Amino acid sequence: MTKPDVLMLYPQRPKAMQQLEDRYTLHRFDLADNKDAFVAQHGPKCRAIVTNGHEPVTRNMIVHMRDLRLVSCSSAGFDGFDVAAMAEHGVALTNTSQALCDDVADTAIMLLLAARRGLVPAEAYVRSGDWAAKGAFPLQRSLKGGKLGIVGMGTIGQAIAGRAMAMGQQVTYWNRRPKDLPWTFQPDLIQLARDSDALVVIVAGGEGTRHLINSDVMEALGPNGLLINVARGSVVDEEALIACLSDGRLGSAALDVYASEPDADPALTQLLNVTNYPHHASGTVETRDAMAQLLVDNLDAFFANEPLLSPVDLSGYLPAEKV
């Protein structure tokens, strides 16, 4: 039996790779020297692409892969994909938000705690001997009774909200539309920031959310406010973030993502009121394996003519006359 042809833009975890190699003819774009020539040669026979969210899926690639019908992505984010071109050409997209939900939610809470309780400077205080030499570490801020704003109330946002409630936080959220949930919906992002002690950002990346968190939002969050970003670096205006953190208009930030990864701007990362994490919210063996497996399972479902397990709705990216 002939194995289906699949274009691989990015390799997967070992167990998933073995399954892919056993079931499919993989055309290794990731190993090609001349990538345009490789797509021209192998792309037309491939009905599916497997990748992660960091290797671009371009309009040119989609146009030249005339039989392409699926992009199976092992990440939650896909802001490097030309989703408009995918929607126009009838290409389905799957991602892995459901597989990484818990670890990303845990990381958001970890950053909240680390920033509010001064974990990084406190650890250095003990390690350096300053505790003995200078006395007790300065008092920090309690989480119980605090007001947490969540920007984006998808699967991960809801998981963050549930954890925050268990810690005694009051949760309010902003989303493109309200949902039937036990938390208060606030349609005005500026007002949400103004009413919050800390703001967690967990929306999809891409042009639709670029610089959604701007200086107005940061100033509304205020000199005692904490901004936590576990979404994408593009969602926050990083130049404004550096300015607001530097002059006190924003109190602090805790970041898993940055505008120029992995070469993050030292003007941001070296600020003492910033807690840094290296885009590693889903970075556990268990979750990365689950993400890769979901990619395989979606691919298997596609070629078996079965419903996709975690499809992304691309209808919002179609031109109005095609909707």
Q: Report, as residue numbers or ranges, the catalytic residues.
A: 232, 261, 279
Question: In which residue are the tokens 């005339």 written?
Answer: 66
d(CA 272, CA 86): 42
d(CA 22, CA 83): 29
Contact status, residue 98 vs residue 294, Cβ threshold 8 Å: yes
Phi, psi of 58 (to 5 degrees): -95, 165
68-73: long-range contacts (C-beta < 8 A, 24 or more apart)?
68/43, 69/302, 70/94, 70/298, 70/299, 70/302, 70/308, 72/48, 72/295, 72/296, 72/298, 72/299, 72/302, 73/295
d(CA 64, CA 56): 15
d(CA 229, CA 235): 9
Cβ neighbours around 84 below 10 Å, total: 16
d(CA 71, CA 46): 11
d(CA 257, CA 200): 12
Nearest to 27 by CA among 15, 10, 13: 10
